[in-house]
Amino acid sequence: MATEHVDVVVVGAGLSGVGAAATLLRRTPDRSVAVLESRDVIGGTWDLFRYPGVRSDSDMYTLGYASRPWGGDKAIADGDDIREYVRRTAAETGVERRVRFRQRVVAASWRSDRAHWELTVLHRDPAATGEWRDGEQGTTTTLTCSFLFACTGYYRYDEGYSPDIPGLAEFEGPVVHPQHWPADLDPAGKRFVVIGSGATAVTLVPALAKRGAHATMLQRSPTYVAAVPSRDRLALRLRGRLPAGLAYRIVRTKHILGSIALYQYARRRPQAMRALLQRSAKEKLPESFDVGTHFAPRYDPWDQRLCAVPGGDLFRAISSGDADVVTDRIDRVEPHGVRLSGGGRLDADVVVTATGLNVLMLGGMRVDVDGVPVDPGTSIAYKGMMLSGVPNLAYTIGYTNSSWTLRADLVADAVASLLIRMRRHRRAVVVPHAPAGEATAAPVIDLAAGYIRRGLHLMPRQGRHDPWRVHQNYLHDLLLFRGAAGRRALRFSPAPTRP
């Protein structure tokens, strides 16, 4: 039986995958495109996470696609709204018809003699439920493609990070990780202890309070938290006065420039930014609240991602008495609460381990080139989208200091341009080649966050110079991706002659 061949395989049907496939269908309509999705539905992260209050941590005017204006009222949107936006985009652009559900790429092998990838695809048993697990069995088929585009994000879907917490197994109530929130868990009237201080915890605590629970955010160390407007006034003023596309571009540009300016200010004047964030928190909290303990991290702003709270909802929940923040270490979890190293104790009906993610590159697929295994952790990233020495493979990783989609859009457009160029010049293979000594120890995601430190060995390396250095600046990348810089690092070749 002949193996099916597709020109381009996009792996993943989340925010990045749908955007990438839509760009390819629009710009390279003569190529066959298939989207392989291991889950049952479109949506990716925004379908996986169902904990109370799940929302974007970037404004929707930049988290939305450049070519598909966000039409909602909220600048910071709920997870349900984002999921529907992604699905609607997939339906309206024709991507939905290209998605093959419950199919996971477990291995990708490049064949130089045929100038294509051979993908080992595992088809999930229809009776299986939940997320894919390592070692899960199913029907295996082979699919070949000329170009492989991994839009799989950078973390594992089947399990979040759960550190060893003394006594956790003795707790008599539910222990929940936000990545796998039970649909039947009613927060009303319950006491929650949320362990963690990142974006998930900051989002979850006010949402639980709003649903009638009392939530305590138990953090080992604090995080910078900034109140942001839940709606964009400029977008609301322009609605109906300008064509929707033009208004969207104006508001999108405002947010792009604003986020760049804020980040640059924070990095160049960290003490001033620290004081600004703490002063803002003090203004929104009771006078007795110890901001210096609970919202004054030891690190500089943007060493880790800044947590945004729309409308200051976390501060409001604390001020109303429906939520608390405790900064201390856990001595031991007891059957009905948590004993703290400082001598205190927190009563709890539910413990939530909002302790982070596990890094997973390229969706966990095994990759080799002519039988030689490829380790992303020892590879150098070309423009943060391809791996040195690996032919016809691209991947998407977004920004850490701005909207994920801003960079995802650039990468998708760059891949489409690359495919157009290859066809125009009758080239079948493209391989980035980094100069000797180019690699650094810095990963493509250069944050001090715990999940990044745990996954450093899995991530591609940055280089010292463009196009091997990964910038966290959209305007710089806009010029880098759309200009001629870096083209000399790409080596093109025609398809091999077959006897």
> What's the pLDDT tens digit per position in 2-49?
689 999 999 999 999 999 999 999 999 999 999 999 999 999 999 999
Residue 134 has pLDDT above 80, yes or no: no
Query: Using 50, 70 and 90 to split pLDDT, how confident is the model at 252?
Result: very high
For the chain, the average pLDDT equals 93
In this prediction, residue 360 carries a pLDDT of 93
Is 166 part of a structural domain of the chain? no
Low-confidence winner among 123-132, 221-230, 406-415, 444-453 (lowest mean pLDDT): 444-453
> Are 102 and 79 in the same domain?
yes
> Does the pLDDT at position 496 exceed 80?
yes
3-class SS letters over the chain:
CCCEEEEEEEECCCHHHHHHHHHHHHHCCCCCEEEEECCCCCCCHHHHCCCCCCECCCCHHHHCCCCCCCCCCCCCCEHHHHHHHHHHHHHHHCHHHHEEECEEEEEEEEECCCCEEEEEEEEECCCCCCCCCCCCCEEEEEEEEEEEEECCCCECCCCCCCCCCCCHHHCCCCEECHHHCCCCCCCCCCEEEEECCCHHHHHHHHHHHHCCCEEEEEECCCCCEEEECCCCHHHHHHECCECHHHHHHHHHHHHHHHHHHHHHHHHHCHHHHHHHHHHHHHHHCCCCCCHHHHCCCCCCCCCCCCEEEECCHHHHHHHCCCEEEEECCEEEEECCEEEECCCCEEECCEEEECCCCCECHHHHCEEEECCEECCHHHCEEECCCEECCCCCEEECCCCCCCCHHHHHHHHHHHHHHHHHHHHHCCCCEEEECCCCCCEEEEECCCCCCHHHHHCHHHCCEEECCCCCCCCCCHHHHHHHHHCCCCHHHEEEECCCCCC
Are 345 and 364 within one domain? no
Count Cα neighbours of 196 within 13 Å in the Cβ-side half-sphere.
28
* Residue 61, pLDDT score: 95
How distant is the alpha carbon of residue 145 from its chain centre? Answer: 26
At 498, the pLDDT band (50, 70, 90 cuts) reads low
Task: Kindly state whether residue 169 falls inside one of the protein's structural domains.
Answer: no
The answer on 413 and 337 residing in a single domain is no
pLDDT in the model for residue 468 = 95
CB contact at 8 A, 82 and 57: no
- Indicate if 119 and 197 belong to the same structural domain: no
**373-424 pLDDT, tens digit each:** 999 999 999 999 999 999 999 999 999 889 999 999 999 999 999 999 999 9
Phi, psi dihedrals of residue 373, rounded to the nearest 5°: -60, 145
Last residue within a domain, chosen from 303, 328, 353: 353
Q: In the predicted model, is pLDDT for residue 275 greater than 60? A: yes
Asked if the bond preceding 270 is cis, omega within 30° of 0, the reply is no
What value does the mean pLDDT take over residues 470-483? 91
In a domain, 164, yes or no: no
From 353, 387, 416, the end of a domain falls on 353
170 or 497: which leads in pLDDT: 170
Asked if 132 and 248 sit in the same domain, the reply is: no
Q: What is the pLDDT of residue 499?
A: 53
Predicted confidence (pLDDT) at residue 60 exceeds the cutoff of 80: yes
d(CA 69, CA 253): 13
Task: For residues 410 and 384, give the distance between their C-alpha atoms in angstroms, rounded to a whole number.
Answer: 11
pLDDT, mean of residues 222-226: 94
Q: What is the mean pLDDT of residues 424-443?
A: 93
One-letter amino acid for residue 279 of the chain: R
Answer yes or no: do 366 and 347 share one domain.
no
- Are 328 and 427 members of one domain? no
> What is residue 454's predicted lDDT score, i.e. its pLDDT?
86
Count of the separate structural domains present in the chain: 2
Does one domain contain both 252 and 149? no
Residue 498 maps to a domain: no
CATH number for position 287: 3.50.50.60
- Residue 42 near residue 96 (C-beta atoms within 8 A): yes
How far apart are alpha carbons 276 and 193 in whole angstroms?
A: 29
Between these two residues, 233 and 497, which has the higher pLDDT value?
A: 233
111 in a structural domain: yes
Q: Kindly report the CA angle at 382 between 379 and 388, in degrees rounded to 5?
A: 40
At 233, list the tokens. Answer: 């006034």
Task: Select from 305, 329, 353 the last residue of a domain.
Answer: 353
Percent of the chain with pLDDT over 90: 83
| Domain-embedded: residue 163 | no
Residues 232 and 305 in one domain: yes
* Cβ–Cβ < 8 Å for 14, 49: no
Segment 113-124 mean pLDDT: 96
pLDDT digits (tens, 9 = 90+) for 280-295: 999 999 999 999 999 9
Cα–Cα distances in angstroms (integers) from residue 323 to residues 132, 164, 204, 306, 352, in the given order:
35, 25, 11, 20, 14
pLDDT for position 410 = 97
Domain that residue 19 falls in: 4-157+358-493
Instruction: Flag whether 220 is in a domain.
Output: yes
Give yes or no: residues 245 and 327 share one domain: yes
Maximum average pLDDT range among 88-102, 135-149, 469-483: 88-102
Q: Which pLDDT belongs to residue 445?
A: 85
Whether 265 maps to a domain, the answer reads yes
Is residue 175 within 8 A of residue 36, CB to CB? The reply is no
**pLDDT beyond 60 at 85:** yes
> Within this chain, do residues 311 and 415 fall inside the same structural domain, yes or no?
no
Residues 432 and 387 in one domain: yes
Contact 311, 344 (CB under 8 A): no
How much is the pLDDT for 2?
65
**Segment 162-216, tens digit of pLDDT:** 889 999 999 999 999 999 999 999 999 999 999 999 899 999 999 999 999 999 9
Residue 448 has pLDDT above 80, yes or no: no
- Name the percent of the chain lying above pLDDT 70: 99
